Every structure is written in C-alpha cells, then in structure tokens.
Structure 1
Amino acid sequence: MTGEGASALAGLGAVGVERLSGITLPAPSAAERASSGLLGDEEPGAEKTTDAASPGEPLFDAAATADIQGNVIPGFNKDHQRFLFFTASEVEGARAWLRWLAPRLSSMQEVLDFRREFRRERLESGSSKPSKTAIWTAFALSRAAVLKLLGEQALAEMGDRAFRQGMAARSTYLGDPATAGAPGHSGGWRIGGPDAEPDFLVIIAADEKDELDAAASVVISEAAVRGVDLAFDQLGENLPGNLAGHEHFGFKDGVSQPGVRGTTDDGEDISPRYLDPRNPHSRIFGKPGQPLVWPGQFVAGWPRQNPADPLIPDEGPGAFPVWARNGSYLVFRRLNQDVPAFWDFVARAAGEHGTDPVRFASMLVGRWPSGAPVSRAPEADDLALAGDEFAHNHFQFDDDTRGWTPSAELSGAGYAGDAHPRARSDVFGDVCPVSSHIRKVNPRDSGTDFGAPGDTFLRLMLRRGIPFGPPLAGVRDPSPDLVATERGLLFAAYMTSIEDQFEFVMRRWANSSVQPNAGGHDPIIGQSNVHGERERRLRLHASDGGERDIVLEREWVTASGGGYFFAPGISAVTAVLAAPASERSGRDES
C-alpha cells in the first residue's frame, strides 16, 4: 500500500462527525401522534391526513416482547461482541445446556427499554456512549442442530430451502469461488465450511470488553461440562475514536436500516415516527428515508410486507412450524477485507478518472466516509449532513427528494429542521453511480428487474454486523505486521426468508452487472464467477459528460466463514429444543 491510496486511508477519521444534540424529547408514541399538529408548510399539493399511523399495525404484547430475541428487534448495537460457535457431541447434554442458557437470553423488551432510554440521552447530549452498561446474549441454531434435536421431519418443515441446505452447500450459488484454494472458497473457511457446520451460535454483546469476556467465559464453561464444545470464537469490535461505526475501508456503516411496524403495550412505536402525521409519507417512513416494514419480513408468524401496497400487510401463512413463531433466520458471513488492495486500486483509478481517491471511493460506495450520501453532497464530504440522523438517509435516486416537516414533538424538542442541500433526480447515475454499493443493495424509489419500487421492501434485512481485526484507516506508516493482520466484517442479518432476502440481494443484484438496473457489478460486495473468471465491471459517468468502463480484476471482500442459522423465540428454546422428545410441543405448519 503506497502513494495516494495510503495517504487517503491514513487521513480518514482525522475529524469527527458532530452528532445532533440539544433535542430533549424522543419521538411521540402512537397515541400522541394522533393529536400532534402541523409545523410549517408541506410541499405544494401534498395530501393532508390526520391519521396517526397506517391502519392495523400489529400490537406486540408483553408475551411477544418477552419471547422475541432482542438482537432481532431492536438489535444489540454494542461496541464489543463475541460470536461463539459450538458443536454438540451429546444430544441430551446439549438440551441441558439450552435449559441453562434460555433464561439468560436477552428479550426484545429488555433491549427496547435500554435502547429507548439511550435514544433520549443521545438526542439530548449528542453522546454515542450510554450512561449505563448492559450485557446481552442471543442464540441461534443451524440445520445440523435441528436434525440432532428435532429430527428430519422438523427440518423439512422449515420452509426455506437455503436453511435446509446450509451456506457451505450454496457457497458458489452466492458467487464464492468454485476453485479449491482460491480466496473465499468454502474449503478454506475458518468456520462453517463443508463438513464443519457448527450446531449453535451464541452472540454476547457488552459495552465493556472485560464484562464481555467474563460473560463469554461462563457460557463456554457451562457448555463444556455438558458436552457442547467451542468450535470457533470470534471477537468483533467497533472501530476506535472518530472511526466508530465505520467499516475497515473507512466508511460509515449501517446508516440505512429499515424500521419495523408495530407498537408495544406501553403505546410506543417499535420504530419511532418523526414525520408530521399529516404528511402522507409519515405512513411509509419512520425517520426520513427509513422505510417502515411489516414485521413478518423479519419475525416468523407476523404480518408480512405486501409489494402492491406498503400500508396493507400480506396476511398469508409463512412456511414455518408452530414452534418457530417469533423466530428469525440469521445469516452470518465472516468477510475479510483487503484494505490495502482496495485503496491502491482507488488511487490508481481516481487518477484515470480525474478526481481524488476519497471522492472516487465514495462514488463506489454511494456515501462519503462520514456517511453523508453522495446524492446530497456530490462534490465533497458534508460532516454536518452526516451528523444529522434525520437527514443523512433522506434521499431518492429517480425523483427529486422533497422536503419534509418534522412532527410537532421533534420540532418542539429543539430540532431545527433539515436545511441541507436536497438530492436531485439521478436516474442515470450521473451523481451517485447506478453500480454504487448502496444503489445495488437498496434501489429505493427506482424500479427494478422485479418491477415497482415496492418490491424492494421485500428484500430488506435487519443488519447486525460489526468489524473484526485492527484498523488500518487513520494509521500513518503502519507496520508490515499490522498491514498483514486479518480484518473485516462479521456480517449478521435477520430475516424470514434467506432465499428471498439475503440470497436475492447477493445473487440477483450485487453479483449482476445489469440488475436491479444496468450499470455494473456491486464494486464492494459483488462477485462474478463466469466460467471461472472473477472479473467484474462497472460504468461511471465522467466529468466531461462521457462514460468510462472500469474493470475490477479482483475482489476486496472475500468470505472466510459463514452459516445459515435460526434464532428461535426464547420460549421455544426451553419448551421445544431443550425438552425431551416426549415433552415437546407440536410442530404443525402455522
């Protein structure tokens, strides 16, 4: 890693993003939204409505919020996490361990309570660190564990073929190399490769590293005495300092997450609503640019997304047995990132494209390192935009992005409004390339190969990833040992269809040069495997009005582990998975 690429990488994180502060009230509850008033003027011609929310949003009662795991909704989002993979050598011992583990799993309600309080703190102080700490635990099992604990019929009742086959068997289907020994080939994975599928995955998350390690030690020792062996232990940690929340290439990660429709017993929305309720877009978005998705896309047994109308759910039955209600599929990918190779390429290509390395890299990603979208900041990074959590995700690709009016509560709490430059129509990718990572995996308002933009809601996932390994970003003159150290992303995402969500996005969009719209492969996570050739291509618009085809001769992100898992409801761990066969509840189709 030399020259301009090394210099650009070393300069990342030199200046931190100042988050919003001085906002003293969180988003209103569902009941409060009904009586909130309009502040300011809507866009000309906008329809006015006084409805508080989309009709019929589901109620998550106390039983549901105690049963759904907290890393599914709302997500742990802790700085320090351990991913512990186990293999059970003795089935009854595994059941005994699960009986010990079940009461220690963190519920949706437990995590929601913490996250809501932290949200109040964050909006008021601007701090990214909570005043209180917590240790949380999540659990999931693989197809191999379903076979061991419940048998072949139970696995057959899991409707997702990808889960029933496992990730290693579908690795080349995802675009991973078919040639043994090639980087990313499943035979070289650290965990989850052929004939090395773990039974269980336990994720422990904490605010403090020493508390994390102490909790993990207890889980590992309790498993060991019951014949459940630790197969792999992976530490994931938020990057330090100004790079917090970034991935190893140096870009802010996880900016765009879907909201989940529904309210809890206390009347609060699961995903807060910040738009004025008389703006019709408040029925579709929580924060500006954050689509509200029906919970059945992420949690089994709940109303699912209807591609024809985002306000009306699809009530059709899901392909899950009864015991799987309140559970979710979990996709895990251990992704190595070749940071030096990425920035060496960027520096070389930027010179040929007539721009600087950071701007060129931002065109590949679709966001600047700070997280500011290229669509709203075409020429340079905008730290103020990046720090405004109500603005940095508010943009479209095909149409001009219109203004929005905050709810009365948000304005009254001190939010001054979104005064940042708006995104303009960019159908052909003149500003944000059609092949940029964020356009490939989430086309937003663009029509796709599957039709109208509403179909994109069906592909969204709840992402819970975290980096692993020491950073190179922000480091000047790194030692050879540091450069050679393994680093990357622990990709983790929850959904109710691995085939229609994760695999669809990877295979049909990221790995394609013409879908969801023509313009090239995803330059960050996309893969190409045409008759053994791994070459990818993308097309960028040049400043002189012309177009340039760019050839990517290698990947910078390669798999080094992975697996398909199922995260059951907490009650099912004890009542079904840990119970003797004579005591297990039914497994009929729901």
Structure 2
Amino acid sequence: MASNLTDLSNVQGDILLNGLNKEVETFWFFTIADTRSFCQKLRQVATEEISHTQNVLDTRRNIKDFKTREGNSPSGRVPTIGANISFSFTGLKKIASVTGLQTNTGDPIFETGMKSAAVSGLQDPIKQGANGQTPDWDSDWLNKQVDGVLLVAGNSAGLIKEKLDRITALFGNSVRLAFKVDGKVRPGAEHGREHFGYMDGISQPVVGNLPNLTDEEKFVPPGQDIIPQGVILCGRPGDTNASARPAWMLDGSFLCFRKLKQNVQDWDRFLVQSSNQLGTFADQLGARLIGRWKSGCPVNLQADFDDTNIGKDVMRNNLFEFDPPGLNSQSQFTIQSGDRMVCPLGAHIRKTNPRGDQPGLGRESVNPHRILRRGIPYGPEISENPNAERGLLFACYQSNLGQGFEFIQRLWANNDRFRFGGAGVDAVMGQTNDKPNVPMQGLFPQDASRELNLPGINRFVVPRGGEYFFSPSLSALKGELSNVQGRNIHPNL
C-alpha cells in the first residue's frame, strides 16, 4: 500500500506549498539536440540548479524572518530564484532511447499530447484552411518540437537570466531553445489579479499530510479542501492510476501548460452592453460570470456589491457552498424571485470546482479532480499599450490529466449541460470550437430562468498554444533519467 511523502526534497519546487516564489517567470521551451549528452549532464543540473519543495519552504521561512526583523517597511528584500524542469512525451521517449527508461506512463492523454486533441477534445478554435483538426494556435506551438520546458521563477528578471545562463551552459549544445514566453505579476493595486481584474488563485486545495511543517504552516483556511497527496503526486495515496506507472514516476506530477490570450477590451465591452440589457451593472454581471467580485468576494456571500472586506479575509472568502436550496437535484436550476444569493451554474468558479453540488456525494466526489494552479499573467497593462497581446500563462499540476485538467475542461467547463441544461459554458475557461453563441441562465439575479447569449465566447479567452509535461522527482532526474546505457536502446529516436 502506498505511503505518504516523507522527503520534501524529492519533489520539484513548483508543485506543492504554493510553488516557487514568482514575481517574474520564464518558460524556456527546448528541443533535445543531443540526447546522450543531455542525459549525461542532467544529473549535475538536477543536483546544482533544480529547486525542490524543501528549498521553497526554506525560502518562505527566510522571507518571514526578514520581515520580522525589518518591520513593516523593510529596506531591500530577500532575493528569490528557482528552476524546475519537465518533459513532454516526445522528450521522455528521447531520454528512453539512451537510458532504457520505461515510458508507459499510464496517462494516454499525456502520451497523445495536447495539440493532437486540442480541437476534438478541448474544443479549441480551429485553424482556418487547415485539416479541420489543427488548432488556431501560435505558429511556434504548431511548428516547433518541444521536448521539455525549463521554468525559472523569482523576484527579478536579472536573477532569472543568471539562472537560465547557468543551466543552459551546463547543458551546452545538448539542448536548443525552441521558444520562450515570459510572465510577470501585475503591478501595484493589480498585484495578484489576472488581466480582467479579478483576484486569482484564491481557492486552492491543500495537499494533506506533508512532512516538516510547523502548525502555522499546516493551517488550512475555512472552506479550503484538503486532498490526498496522490491527487497531485504520482504513486502516493489517492493516485488512482498508481499501479499502471513505473516506479521512477513516484513523486512526479503532470504539468499542463496553456497560453491563454485575454481580450480584455472585448470582455469589458460585453459586460457594459449586456448588463444594460439585463438591467444590472457591469461589475455585477462580471461577478456572476466569474462567481466572485474583483476583490475575491463570492457572490454567494454578497450579491449586490463587492465587499472587499470579505474578499481579502482568508477566514471568510472560501467559507460557502453553492446554495443547495436553489438547486433542484432532479432536473433543473431554480431560484425564487428575489433570492439573489445563488451563484449561476455556469460561473467560472462553480464550473471548475462544484464544491458540494453533487447530490449525495458532496465535496469528496470533486476532490479527485482538483488541480494545483501555478499560472502567471503575461503582456503589458492596458494603460501601457491597449492593443498589445496579454493574457495568462496557465499552468497546473495533477497526477492524472484525465481526472484533472482535461476532466475539468471537457466535462465541466465546456459542457453547457453541466450541471443542468441552461447552465452554459464557463465564460472564462470554456471552449466551443467556433460555435458562435452559447446561452446561459442565472446571470440576472431576479430571474434565474432568463437567458443571456454569450456571443463569440471564444473571443474573451483564446488558447494560443500548450502542451502536457511530466515533472519528475529529484531522485528520478539524478537516477533513471540520467543513467545512460552503453548504446542507444532505440537508435531511431
């Protein structure tokens, strides 16, 4: 029987405990040019440059001590930098060709890759003039081979460049840059918000039974879910596919990366025009589409205005359920006239985490589908350049893509009948290929059955590329992925 993790230094640092500290981040996507040389150098890179969870915890403690010493107005700050490495299935197959690594990962979605199923599975927009199964992505994602990604995060661009320079110098000519994307948190009062203006990352599950934590570090805010380690880490309790995986995958996790372009001006314009149609106001309509006001205050706790005191209060901003009295478990979603304290079924936070919506099952039925999100915004502020591209570099970790990201995307966010007909698709994350209009109910507080058409829903958040990766443990990086055999096992790779 699987046991819980006992060594935080075996798990790459971006996976657990809120991940690497990041104010700026670079995703450096690479092609393995010389597989044998790459694997021979991987052990040194993993030993000297790849961050693990204990590093993250130590850094967090150092920052806390620094703030305690310096008070509320510290002079300077603790420099932070960390790097992780992950591989696509093509990258793992290359590594297997010189190490004999077993590549039966037990995850067919990972092995197929994101691009092949982006149109048919994820319902991404279709590239016009192609074969009908090619997603309308940036050319880099369509034309360049991505064997892996180095993600480097910290609190200054200079530290990131130095870290990347050291790692790429160690790898030498064994790797080649395919392309890179850079992200950064938004400045000033927008810190912590994505480009539509909503606080991000408020509701994250907590991985239970982690070692070496103080009582303060173990604190779980009210309303947050505690999930088994195996929902995120392969081979740990809660990993429903553990028996199908080779031993080297223990303590690794699958990384889903999506570049999501946000059309902020279209979103803002839609909210103004549609709120006039519904007889409400733009911020309230936006809150009902998201499920939270911009501060993070849930509409379940305040339907009429953005209560910023609730939004910033970790003891209250997740302490709610999605109004069971308004949910008819037999067939439909109903609200009595005047009862506005119900989150629409198609709201982003309800689509992606239904909480206790499942009759007779509750949150326990949702926990196997939880993910740990590690995204960061990209692109300039609207005030700097209104016409520039901006969006979210979405990243999340799970032990099973079919139960994690893909399940949430296909069966919840994209499904206009989840949980009942009329729910609509997730206005933020949902994709419908090129379907022009999707109706949604529950957006008008006084009349739940009234529908609003969301025209061209894909125009708000548009996928521009992505891939599935595996983030191995530190022991696997230094061991099975680095143990080069005397000759190539598969010479054609």
Report if TM-score (shorter chain) is over 0.5: yes
Amino acid at match of 2:403: D
| Distance in 2 separating the partners of 1:217 and 1:296 | 34
Q: Does 1:495 align with 2:433?
A: no
The TM-score normalised by the length of structure 1 is 0.73
Which residue, 223, 245, 258 being the options, matches 1:289? 223
Q: 1:190 to 1:219 in 2, by over 3 A?
A: farther
Measure, in 2, the Cα distance between the counterparts of 1:318 and 1:130.
49
Q: Structure 2 length normalisation: TM-score? A: 0.87
- C-alpha change, 1:228 and 1:263, in structure 2 (3 Å) is closer
- Give the aligned partner of residue 69 of structure 1: 12
Cα distance between partner residues in 1 of 2:66 and 2:226? 24
Letter in 2 for 1:72: I
Q: Which secondary structure state, in structure 2, belongs to the residue aligned with residue 186 of structure 1?
A: coil
2:180 paired residue number: 233
Find the aligned partners of 2:216 and 2:110 in 1 and give their Cα distance. 28
**Alpha-carbon deviations, 1:191-235, whole Å to 9, x = none?**
433x53311101111112221222223333443x22310111111
Residue 344 of structure 2 is matched in structure 1 by 433
**Pair 272,130 (structure 1): closer, same or farther in 2 beyond 3 Å:** farther
Q: Does 1:100 align with 2:41?
A: no
CA distance in 2 between counterparts of 1:527 and 1:117 reads 42
Distance 2:61 2:3 in 1: 19
* Partner of residue 78, structure 1: 22
Q: Give distance in 2, aligned partners of 1:442 and 1:128.
A: 38
RMSD between aligned residues: 3.1
CA distance in 2, matches of 1:559, 1:541: 25
- Asked if the contact 1:300–1:318 (Cα under 8 Å) also holds between the matched residues in 2, the reply is no
Matched with 2:440 is: 538
Are the counterparts in 1 of residues 379 and 390 from structure 2 also a CA contact under 8 Å? Answer: yes
**Any stretches of 5+ residues in structure 2 without a counterpart?**
326-332, 489-493
Q: Distance in 2 between matches of 1:129 and 1:571?
A: 38
Task: Tell me what 2:491 maps to.
Answer: none
Q: Secondary structure at the match of 1:202?
A: strand
Q: Partner residue of 2:371?
A: 461
CA 1:517–1:292 in 2, change beyond 3 Å: closer, same or farther? farther
Contact between 2:21 and 2:81, CA under 8 Å: does it hold in 1?
no
Task: Confirm whether residue 322 of structure 1 aligns to residue 279 of structure 2.
Answer: no
Mapped partners of 1:534, 1:226: distance in 2: 47
SS in 1 for 2:439: strand
Partner of 2:56: 111
- For 2:317 and 2:139, the matched residues in 1 are separated by 36
Query: Could you list the per-position Cα deviations for residues 33-60 of structure 1 after superposition, in whole angstroms to 9, with x for gaps in the alignment?
Result: xxxxxxxxxxxxxxxxxxxxxxx99653
Judge conservation of contact 2:424–2:439 (CA < 8 Å) in 1.
yes
The aligned counterpart of 2:329 is none
Q: Which residue of 2 aligns with 1:310?
A: none
Q: Does 1:356 align with 2:286?
A: no
Q: How does 1:10-409 map to 2 (within 5 A)?
A: 60-61=5-6, 64-74=7-17, 75-103=19-47, 104-116=49-61, 118=63, 131-151=77-97, 156-172=103-119, 173-180=121-128, 186=135, 188-193=137-142, 196-223=144-171, 225-264=172-211, 266=212, 268=214, 272-273=218-219, 286-304=220-238, 317-399=242-324
1:179 Cα deviation (Å)? 3.9
2: CA distance, partners of 1:205 / 1:483: 26
SS at match of 2:429: coil
Q: Which amino acid aligns with 1:471?
A: E
SS in 2 for 1:580: coil
How do residues 481-520 of structure 1 correspond to structure 2 at under 5 angstroms? Answer: 482-518=385-421, 519-520=423-424
Q: Write the deviation string for residues 378-416 of structure 1: whole angstroms up to 9, x where unpaired.
A: 11111111221222111111348xxxxxxxxxxxxxxxx
Q: 1:377 to 1:117 in 2, by over 3 A?
A: farther
Q: Give the whole-Å Cα distance in 2 for the aligned partners of 1:184 and 1:378.
A: 42
CA contact (8 A) 2:2 2:236 kept: no
Measured in 1, the distance between the counterparts of 2:42 and 2:215 equals 32
Structure 1 unaligned runs (5+)?
1-55, 274-285, 306-313, 401-425, 585-590
Aligned mates of 1:544, 1:149 — CA distance in 2: 59
Structure 2 CA distance for aligned equivalents of residues 525 and 232 of structure 1? 25
Q: Secondary structure at the match of 2:357?
A: coil
When residues 129 and 571 of structure 1 are mapped into structure 2, their CA distance, relative to the original with a 3 A threshold, is farther
Partner Cα distance (1:184, 1:534) in 2: 18
CA contact (8 A) 2:4 2:237 kept: no
1:116–1:538 distance in 2 versus 1, CA, 3 Å: farther
**Counterpart in 1 of 2:465?**
561
Once residues 439 and 171 of structure 1 are traced to their aligned partners in structure 2, the CA distance between those partners, rounded to angstroms, is 23
| Aligned-pair CA distance for 1:151 | 4.2
- Partner secondary structure for residue 247 of structure 1: coil
The AA in structure 2 aligned to 1:70 is G
Who is 1:18 aligned against?
none
Asked whether the 8 Å contact 1:510–1:526 carries over to 2, the reply is yes
Cα contact 1:324–1:572 (8 A) shared by 2: yes
Go from structure 1 to structure 2 and tell me whether the alpha carbon gap of 1:176 and 1:127 turns closer, same or farther (over 3 Å shift).
farther
Letter of the structure 1 residue corresponding to residue 92 of structure 2: V
Q: Matches of 1:347 and 1:160 in 2, distance apart?
A: 43
Q: How far did 1:79 drift?
A: 0.6
* Partner SS for 1:204: strand
Deviation of residue 73 (structure 1)?
A: 1.1
1:266-311: CA deviation from partner (whole Å, max 9, x where unpaired): 46369623xxxxxxxxxxxx21111000000101111007xxxxxx
Aligned residue pairs: how many? Answer: 468
Matches within 5 A, 1:409-420: none
Letter in 2 for 1:339: V
Range with bigger deviation, 490-499 or 109-118: 109-118
The 3 A distance-change label for structure 1 pair 520 and 465 is same
Q: Secondary structure at the match of 1:536?
A: strand
Q: Is the 8 A contact 1:176 1:185 kept in 2?
A: no
Offset, 1:526:
0.5
Query: Which of 516, 530, 550 matches 2:452?
Result: 550
Distance in 2 (alpha carbons) for counterparts of 1:129 and 1:87: 42
Q: How far apart, CA to CA, are the structure 2 residues paired with 1:203 and 1:132?
A: 20
Structure 2 CA distance, aligned partners of 1:463 and 1:202?
Answer: 17
After TM superposition, the structure 1 stretch with the greater mean CA deviation from structure 2, 535-544 or 227-236, is: 535-544
Alpha-carbon distance in structure 1 between the residues aligned to 2:179 and 2:73: 34
* Aligned counterpart, 1:578: 482
Native 8 Å contact 1:57 1:261 kept in 2:
no
Deviation, structure 1 residue 154: 5.0
Alignment partners' CA distance in 1, 2:74 and 2:469: 31
